[in-house]
A and B are shown apart, each in its own frame.
Chain A
Amino acid sequence: MLRYVARRAMAIVPTLLLVYTVVFFIAHATPGSPWDMLGERPVPPQVQENLNQKYNLDKSLPEQYLTYLGNALRGDFGPSYRSRSQSVAQIIREFLPVSLQLGVAAMVLALLVALPLGGLAALRRGTWLDWTIVSLTTLGISLPSYVVASVGIVVLGVKLGWAPTIGWDGLFTPSSVVPIIGLSLAPLAALTRYFRASMIEELHRDYVRTARAKGLSEQKVVGGHMARNALIPVMTVAGVYFSYVLMGSFFVETIAGVPGLGRYFVISVAARDYPVIIGTTLLYAAVVLVVNILVDLSYAALDPRIRYDA
């Protein structure tokens, strides 16, 4: 088990290096420079040169690539060009916790609603209840998060005045309602459908018949046996969605004014803020890789047949 984890963890390094390489060159290949943002007047060449010098942009690309890599390995992801008094590390320290809270809350909400709903739909499949749940989840999957968040702000914020239209006062305040709903709807709907499909598959398995024949209570058959098996494919999807709600929430964060890391992707790309683009992308890649490992490990917990001892 430990060896498996160690092996997987080691594979993270080359992946991150590859991500860094791709992002570095794409970011620098994008037309525009960070200093085009200095205002409407042309920036004197000397000022540009000095800024380039100050931020190492006067060096050749391969040289910049290696310098940044060396600094990053030492934990220095550089200063932000857009917000001159902040460094990338500060930005991550300050805004990652907000994204984490928001992502975990959205995922918990999604799972807590999706599993009972999906299970219910599977057990009552073909009835009006199943039909309603499936229709609603289709709607949930089709609605983009930014639409949900925008409508949420107009309804809950502007019309009802129950939640603020912008800002973040913490997880346990009305300000978190719109972003949590906006973020959790897509995973909620998708997980409901996956769990439903997965449960239906399990319904006809031999072990279910055996369990029933043995006289086990319905609760034990469904909760103890079927659900546990049906969870395995769902966990894979949940893992993907978890990385999505953790970091991919830039629309929701931007619209609802949540100071999370997700929206830094967008801001930094627009501002050609290379260090922030690279830093946040690397962080996102690392999150995805770690979540993937966790998902694989969860299989072992759910299914005794899966073991990672070589």
Chain B
Amino acid sequence: MSRWLRGLITACLIAVLVSGITPAVFAAPPAQSATGEFRMIVGEPSSLDPNIAVDYSIFVTSQLFDPLYRMEEDGSLTMLGAESYEVSEDGLTWTFKLNPNAKWSDGEPITASDWVYSWLRTLDPAVGSGVGTFLAAVRNAPEYQAGEVTDPAEVGLRAVDDLTFEVTMAQPSPQFKAVAGLPYLTASPRHVIEEKGEQWTETGNLVSSGPYKLEAWDHDQQIVLARNEHYGGDAPSIERAVLTIATGDPCVAQVQAYEANEVDFATCVPAQDIARMRSQYPDELTLEPLSATIFPVFDNSKEPWNDVRVRKAFSLAIDRDAIVAVLTDNTSTPAYQLVPEGIIGRDPGHALTGTVEDAQALLAEAGYPNGEGFPEFTITTSNARGRKDLAELIQQMWKDNLGVTGQVEVMEENAYRSWVNARKEEPYDIGINGWYSDYIDPNNWYKEVFVDDYRNMHFTNEEFVNLVGEAAFELDEAKRADLFTQADAILEAEAPAIPAYYPTDIQLRKPWLQGLGHTPVLGLFYIADATITQP
């Protein structure tokens, strides 16, 4: 026995040594980085090419690359790549005077031809970027993207001189003011891309235009950003940022690392941890509004959903307070309108009002008293971000309040996206969907979501389409707002989708981190704006 025990203990000790688990290696976690660097967790970017990356990669690319300007929450502009801009009286020509101090992180000057080159890249069919659709209003841009126009000189993007970048529109496009500040529409370094090809975003190759440069991108491990000493704007206070890459649920990883003091900032909190984190970090947890709405959509072209009374009944029969309580622990706001706050045209007076009794009456009017004879339907949803729970909640509410029976069909996230895209032609009943503003302008909602039908809800209303079409080219701001407001009234009265809630970003910031903001559009933050107080 003793020999065996001795053997066992020896074996265990060896095992411990082999795995490097010697107690001497353990060290208490530092409360804050000793070197004053900023630490957070991000997902592995699909690309660091600002003209290609459209997913959460923009959390990283927006630290590295500057657009022409940033549109703030109040609609004011913070000039970055551009110094000033001018629009011709007919609204067709936008002239951007570029910042003469702007330099690439390798010291080369940033010129108007860099801007022309990179915006053309977003349209170049060979590059295969999803960003080009934002430039749809630019003269010949859609044609160039479709390969119908092959000469880039025919596209309305021109370098007048080194510091003058001119954009010509096909039609007057007031929304372009918001579009031109998008984080994807930055300049990208032609001299590097032409030399290195697709490898240009790798460590050692990437040259940036923003306050930070890329020190290292160790795929699926970490990204290190360092101050760009050639930056044309104000030098950031934080010198270095270490972004650790998580591949699992980024919210779970961030909360764990935040609790262990390994990061200074967490961009989200998983639903199951909201209550605990709220009580544990009451001063560090913030609810950050997003310009977005989560809405189940109907196939408006198909029976019984082509009857507005049915759509209204379904919208009135759900309890939005219960939805935000169950899904988000009351961190989000119930939505009674499709378009979120802050978008011109939205008028709270247009909201659909009524009780469950009204809903029942509407359904009876449509020919289905107490839900009798109502066909069985399917609610299709992805399994991500609580969408499945939302589907099940409203399924139950409709059953209880209207006496109608729906089945929930759950899909993996990517399969669901593909399903939504295929609904262009295929019929369906209800899908759980939503929209997050790409830029703060009514065009992004009324036109792109509801007229261009990015969510395939097949909503058709001639008057609505005409109003939105007219508003799109209207240069007079007051007239434009009025046209969108009229369109908003029709939209809410027609109820092509069911507003459910306005989502919120739940974030955590350590007390020593100050000034790190959050934009309602895309939930962006700028490390360059932040400071870290040394103890």
Do they bind each other?
yes
Q: Which residues of A are at the interface with B, using a C-beta cutoff of 8 A?
A: 30-33, 36-44, 46-47, 49-51, 54, 82-86, 91, 94-95, 105, 108-109, 112-113, 115-117, 119-120, 123-124, 153-154, 157-158, 161-168, 171-174, 176-177, 180, 219, 254-255, 257, 259, 263, 266-267, 270-272
Q: Are B201 and A166 in contact (CB under 8 A)?
A: no
Q: Are B244 and A112 in contact (CB under 8 A)?
A: no
Bound state CA distance, A81 and B374, in angstroms? Answer: 45
| From A41, A95, A271, contact of B414 by CB (8 A) | A271
Q: Are A219 and B438 in contact (CB under 8 A)?
A: no
Bound state CA distance, A84 and B201, in angstroms? Answer: 10
A49, closest chain B residue (CB)? B125
Q: Sorted from nearest, which 9 A-B pairs have the closest CB atoms?
A: A39-B54, A172-B20, A32-B418, A38-B130, A254-B248, A165-B256, A51-B128, A36-B417, A32-B414
B210 within 8 A of A: no
Bound state CA distance, A271 and B257, in angstroms? Answer: 26
Q: Are A254 and B15 in contact (CB under 8 A)?
A: no
Q: Given that A30-B415, A165-B262 are known contacts, is A85 also in contact with B199, CB under 8 Å in the complex?
A: yes
B419 within 8 A of A: yes
| From B133, B221, B248, contact of A167 by CB (8 A) | B221
The residue among A44, A166, A263 with the most chain B CB atoms within 10 A of its own CB is A166
B125, closest chain A residue (CB)? A50
Q: Are B257 and A165 in contact (CB under 8 A)?
A: yes
B34 within 8 A of A: no
Residues of chain A contacted by B19 (CB below 8 angstroms): 105, 109, 176-177, 180
Which B residues, 176 to 216, have Cβ-Cβ distances below 8 Å to chain A? 198-202
Bound state CA distance, A85 and B53, in angstroms? Answer: 12
Residues of chain A contacted by B421 (CB below 8 angstroms): 36, 42
**Would you give the shortest CB distance from A215 to chain B, in whole angstroms?**
18
**Would you give the shortest CB distance from A160 to chain B, in whole angstroms?**
8
Which B residues, 110 to 151, have Cβ-Cβ distances below 8 Å to chain A? 125-126, 128-130, 132-133, 142, 145-147
The total number of A-B Cβ pairs within 8 Å is 186
Would you mind naming 22 contact pairs between A and B with Cβ atoms under 8 Å apart?
A: A32-B412, A32-B418, A37-B414, A39-B54, A41-B130, A44-B145, A46-B146, A50-B128, A84-B198, A85-B202, A161-B260, A164-B29, A164-B262, A166-B244, A166-B256, A167-B222, A167-B244, A174-B21, A180-B19, A219-B3, A257-B248, A257-B253
**Would you give the shortest CB distance from A196 to chain B, in whole angstroms?**
13
Q: Are B55 and A109 in contact (CB under 8 A)?
A: no
Q: Are B4 and A177 in contact (CB under 8 A)?
A: no
Q: Are A158 and B259 in contact (CB under 8 A)?
A: yes
Bound state CA distance, A24 and B419, in angstroms? Answer: 22
**Would you give the shortest CB distance from B455 to chain A, in whole angstroms?**
9
Bound state CA distance, A161 and B125, in angstroms? Answer: 50
| From B199, B219, B248, contact of A94 by CB (8 A) | B219
| From A105, A161, A166, A176, contact of B41 by CB (8 A) | A166
Residues of chain A contacted by B132 (CB below 8 angstroms): 44, 47
Residues of chain A contacted by B220 (CB below 8 angstroms): 95, 259, 263
Q: Are B247 and A257 in contact (CB under 8 A)?
A: yes
Q: Given that A32-B414, A219-B3 are known contacts, is A157 also in contact with B133, CB under 8 Å in the complex?
A: no
Bound state CA distance, A195 and B11, in angstroms? Answer: 16
Q: Given that A83-B44, A172-B20, A254-B247 are known contacts, is A120 also in contact with B4, CB under 8 Å in the complex?
A: yes
Q: Are B125 and A47 in contact (CB under 8 A)?
A: yes
Residues of chain A contacted by B125 (CB below 8 angstroms): 46-47, 49-50
**Would you give the shortest CB distance from A90 to chain B, in whole angstroms?**
8
The residue among B125, B128, B256 with the most chain A CB atoms within 10 A of its own CB is B128
Residues of chain B contacted by A109 (CB below 8 angstroms): 15, 18-19
| From B26, B256, B454, contact of A41 by CB (8 A) | B454
B202, closest chain A residue (CB)? A85
| From A31, A43, A54, A266, contact of B130 by CB (8 A) | A43
Q: Given that A44-B132, A116-B8 are known contacts, is A161 also in contact with B145, CB under 8 Å in the complex?
A: no
Q: Are B246 and A166 in contact (CB under 8 A)?
A: yes
| From A30, A49, A85, A113, contact of B201 by CB (8 A) | A85
Q: Are A112 and B47 in contact (CB under 8 A)?
A: no
Which B residues, 235 to 272, have Cβ-Cβ distances below 8 Å to chain A? 244-248, 253, 256-257, 259-262
Q: Given that A84-B47, A85-B47, A112-B11 are known contacts, is A171 also in contact with B260, CB under 8 Å in the complex?
A: no
Q: Given that A83-B219, A154-B256, A270-B413 are known contacts, is A44 also in contact with B146, CB under 8 Å in the complex?
A: yes
Q: Are A166 and B415 in contact (CB under 8 A)?
A: no
Bound state CA distance, A91 and B419, in angstroms? Answer: 30
Bound state CA distance, A179 and B147, in angstroms? Answer: 50
Residues of chain B contacted by A105 (CB below 8 angstroms): 18-19
B20, closest chain A residue (CB)? A172
A176, closest chain B residue (CB)? B20
A172, closest chain B residue (CB)? B20
